[in-house]
Chain A
Amino acid sequence: MMAKSLVVAKFEFVKTVRRKGFILGTIGLPLLMLFVIGLTLYTGAGIGTGATNQTTGYVDAAGFIQAAPGFVPYPDIAAGKAALVKGEIDSLLVVPGGYIRTGTLMVYTMDSSLLGSAGSSQSVQEFVTRNLLRHENVSDETAQKILSPVSPTVIVLDEAGNPKGDQKLAGFVLPFALTMVLALGILTSSGYLMQGIGEEKESRRGEFLLSHCSAEELLAGKILGYAGVGLLQITVWVAIGLIVIAASPFAALFSEIQVTGLVCLAVVYFVLGYFLFSVSIACTASLAPTVREAQQVSAVFSMFAVFPIIFLQFLLQDPNSLLMQVLTYFPYTAPFVAMVRLTLVTVPPYEIIVSIAILVISIAILTKLAARIFRMGMLTYGKRVTFREVFRFLKEK
Chain B
Amino acid sequence: MKILEPDPEPGKIVLHVEHLTKTFDSRNILEDISFVVNKGEVFGLLGPNGAGKTTLIRTILDIFRPDTGTISLFGTTFSNDIKDAIGYLPEEGSLDKEIPVSECIRYFAELKHVDAIDRKMDEWLERLDLTEYRDKKIQELSKGMHRRLQFILAVIHQPALLILDEPFSGLDPLNIKTLKDILLDLRDNGTTLIMSTHQMDEVERMCDRILMLNNGKTVLYGSLDEIRLQFGLSVEVRYEGRLPHLDHILGINDSGNVAELIVEKDADTQAILKTLVASVTVKKFEVKQRSMNEIFLEVGRR
Complex partner residue of B94 from A7, A203, A375, CB under 8 angstroms: A203
Residues of A within 8 A of B80 (CB): 1, 4, 214
Number of residue pairs A-B, CB distance < 8 angstroms: 65
User: Is A255 in contact with chain B by the CB < 8 A criterion?
Assistant: no
Residues of B within 8 A of A203 (CB): 93-96
Flag if B63 contacts A211 (CB, 8 Å): yes
User: How far does the alpha carbon of A207 sit from the alpha carbon of B63 in the complex, in Å?
Assistant: 8
Flag if A211 contacts B88 (CB, 8 Å): yes
With A11-B107, A15-B99, A211-B83 in contact, do A204 and B94 touch (Cβ < 8 Å)? Answer: yes
With A7-B110, A379-B63 in contact, do A208 and B24 touch (Cβ < 8 Å)? Answer: no
Flag if A213 contacts B24 (CB, 8 Å): no
Separation in Å of the B119 CB from the closest CB of chain A? 19
Flag if B86 contacts A211 (CB, 8 Å): yes
Residues of B within 8 A of A4 (CB): 80, 111
Per-residue CB proximity of A181-217 to B under 8 Å, as 1/0? 0000000000000000001000111111011111100
Residues of chain B from 73 to 109 with CB closer than 8 A to chain A in the complex: 80, 83, 86, 88, 90, 92-96, 98-99, 107-108
Flag if A396 contacts B64 (CB, 8 Å): yes
Residues of A within 8 A of B88 (CB): 208, 211
User: Is B196 in contact with chain A by the CB < 8 A criterion?
Assistant: no
User: How far does the alpha carbon of A388 sit from the alpha carbon of B95 in the complex, in Å?
Assistant: 31
Separation in Å of the A80 CB from the closest CB of chain B? 67
Interface size on B, residues (CB 8 A): 28
Separation in Å of the A196 CB from the closest CB of chain B? 10
Residues of A within 8 A of B95 (CB): 203, 205, 208
Per-residue CB proximity of A8-21 to B under 8 Å, as 1/0? 10010001000100
Flag if B25 contacts A392 (CB, 8 Å): yes
With A15-B98, A205-B95 in contact, do A213 and B90 touch (Cβ < 8 Å)? Answer: no
Residues of A within 8 A of B99 (CB): 15
Of the listed residues A19, A205, A375, the one surrounded by the most CB atoms of chain B closer than 10 A to its CB is A205
Flag if B94 contacts A212 (CB, 8 Å): no
Residues of B within 8 A of A213 (CB): 83, 111
User: Is A86 in contact with chain B by the CB < 8 A criterion?
Assistant: no
User: Is B34 in contact with chain A by the CB < 8 A criterion?
Assistant: no
Complex partner residue of B65 from A19, A204, A206, A396, CB under 8 angstroms: A396
Residues of chain B from 104 to 127 with CB closer than 8 A to chain A in the complex: 107-108, 110-113
Of the listed residues A204, A208, A214, A396, the one surrounded by the most CB atoms of chain B closer than 10 A to its CB is A208
Complex partner residue of B92 from A204, A210, A214, A375, CB under 8 angstroms: A204
User: Is A397 in contact with chain B by the CB < 8 A criterion?
Assistant: yes
User: How far does the alpha carbon of A396 sit from the alpha carbon of B94 in the complex, in Å?
Assistant: 27
Closest-by-CB residue of B relative to A207 is: B90
User: How far does the alpha carbon of A15 sit from the alpha carbon of B137 in the complex, in Å?
Assistant: 12
Separation in Å of the B40 CB from the closest CB of chain A? 21
Residues of chain B from 43 to 62 with CB closer than 8 A to chain A in the complex: 58, 61-62
Flag if A212 contacts B24 (CB, 8 Å): no
Residues of A within 8 A of B197 (CB): none
Enumerate 11 A-B pairs (CB-CB under 8 Å) in ascending A order. Answer: A7-B107, A204-B93, A205-B95, A206-B93, A210-B61, A211-B86, A211-B88, A212-B108, A212-B111, A214-B80, A388-B25
Query: Nearest 9 pairs between A and B by C-beta?
Result: A211-B88, A204-B93, A397-B65, A212-B111, A203-B94, A7-B110, A11-B107, A210-B63, A205-B93
